[in-house]
Amino acid sequence: MQIFKDNANRDWTISLNIGTAMMVKDRLGIDLLQPETGDPPLLTRLGTDEMLLAQVIAALLESQFEFHKVDAHQIYQCFDGQTFARAHEAFYKELIDFFQSRGRHDRSKAVEKQRNMILAGVKAAETKIENINIGEVIETAMNGAISGA
């Protein structure tokens, strides 16, 4: 089980087991126990489609809605950027733990690799953006505009 806090300081627990996996599959048609399947694979879709990931996480949290006196719509409102980052991290850790405890080290390694690729991709994008020389971009655009005139 992985625990994270939302922006209202409530604790949420993400727990992956056969029951929660079956519930997610019934609700969303997503089989969390086969992360390598699909085109693109489920791991890729979860890593690139934040709304899909939010739906999966919300489904995993659904049994806690009554305790926290929220519904699905309200839970999305509580997921600001920091909360979603914490939930995202908790989700990946829970997937890794589930597959490791099940002896599916291939799948736990795949999830860990996907998580690391996301972090590396974000870091690479940040570095590329930081290295943009605004003056050079403007100068190039201006020269193109002048020569095309």
pLDDT digits (tens, 9 = 90+) for 107-122: 888 888 887 777 777 7
Residue type, 19: G
* Cα 88 from Cα 62, distance rounded (Å): 16
Q: Is residue 46 within 8 Å of 78, Cβ to Cβ?
A: no
Helices and strands, number each (H, E), in the chain: 8, 2
Say which residue, 12 or 149, is predicted with more confidence: 12
Quote the pTM value. Answer: 0.77
**Is the predicted pLDDT of residue 5 greater than 70, yes or no?**
yes
What b/e readout covers 69-105, taking b as 16+ CB neighbours within 10 angstroms?
ebeeeebeebbeeebbebbbebbbbbbbbbbeeeeee
The pLDDT tens digits of the residues spanning 35-86 come to: 988 888 898 899 889 999 999 999 999 999 999 999 888 888 888 999 999 9
- Which amino acid, one-letter code, is at 35? P
Q: Taking each helix axis from N to C terminus, what angle separates 81-101 and 105-130, rounded to the nearest 10 degrees?
A: 150
Query: Inter-axis angle of helices 50-61 and 18-28, to 10 degrees?
Result: 130
